[in-house]
Amino acid sequence: DAKTTQPNSMESNEEEPVHLPCNHSTISGTDYIHWYRQLPSQGPEYVIHGLTSNVNNRMASLAIAEDRKSSTLILHRATLRDAAVYYCILQKKSSGDKLTFGTGTRLAVRP
Amino acid sequence: DTAVSQTPKYLVTQMGNDKSIKCEQNLGHDTMYWYKQDSKKFLKIMFSYNNKELIINETVPNRFSPKSPDKAHLNLHINSLELGDSAVYFCASSPRITGGEFFGPGTRLTVL
């Protein structure tokens, strides 16, 4: 299964930007990079995904390294409601396009 | 106007029983999934269906049988429940196989 490496936990102050890193050195050319988050006692929530170019949506931005071996999820202004586990996932065609969740990064937001 | 809904939210049952969890999505998506999240919070895919056809079937015991009566529904039937089946089960859907997935609120299954 596709392997991504994320820090176990991170902390941020409210209203400051947060950069969540992810390494995926085994990425293939057709693999999509997905980010999801899971708030306590809720189902995972889609955040963003991309292939090669940086992506922006109303929730976050995704910055993808030129060699695609790493990516960074950027929350522009963290709020208390952003406290969650953030998962970086490779969607690999060789695995039938399934998402393989890892352990993610637990983000704590300080008021 | 819930996008992906699951019933029941909680399910407590005895070992050996048969139970079903229902999932419905009103997003018009073609692909639906079942995931299992165990007590250590690992989230693992079990099945995926695309337009009512099985696409992914992970190494899941035969006691688990998904059924998709139509594109908007993917139900999960579990026979002869075991203690190790206790987990939170999430249903999800996506507009296409390489799109973002939208998850339901989960069904917490407890087998006694």
- For chain A, the three-class secondary structure string (H helix, E strand, C coil) is CCCCECCCEEEEECCCCEEEEEECCCCCCCCEEEEEEECCCCCCEEEEEECCCCEECCCCEEEECCCCCEEEEEECCCCHHHCEEEEEEEECHHHCCCECCCCCEEEEEEC
Regions in chain A scoring below 70 on pLDDT: 1-2, 93-96
> pLDDT tens digits for chain B (112 residues)?
669 999 999 999 999 999 999 999 999 998 999 999 998 888 899 988 888 888 888 878 999 999 999 989 999 999 999 999 999 999 999 887 666 889 999 999 999 9
- Residue among A72, A99, A75 nearest A7 (CA): A72
Dihedral, B36, B37, B42, B43 alpha carbons, nearest 10: 50
Question: How confident is the model at residue B99, as a pLDDT?
Answer: 67
Which of B42, B45, B105 is closest, CB to CB, to A42?
B105
- Residue among A26, A18, A6 nearest A67 (CA): A26
Give the Cα separation of A97 and B53 in Å (integer): 15
Q: Do B45 and A98 touch (CB under 8 A)?
A: yes
Chain B partners within 8 Å of A36 (Cβ)? 101
- Residue among B90, B23, B20, B26 nearest A99 (CA): B90
Give the Cα separation of A33 and A31 in Å (integer): 7
Question: How confident is the model at residue B41, as a pLDDT?
Answer: 83
CB A6 within 8 A of CB A90: no
Q: Do A44 and B98 touch (CB under 8 A)?
A: no
CB A100 within 8 A of CB A44: no
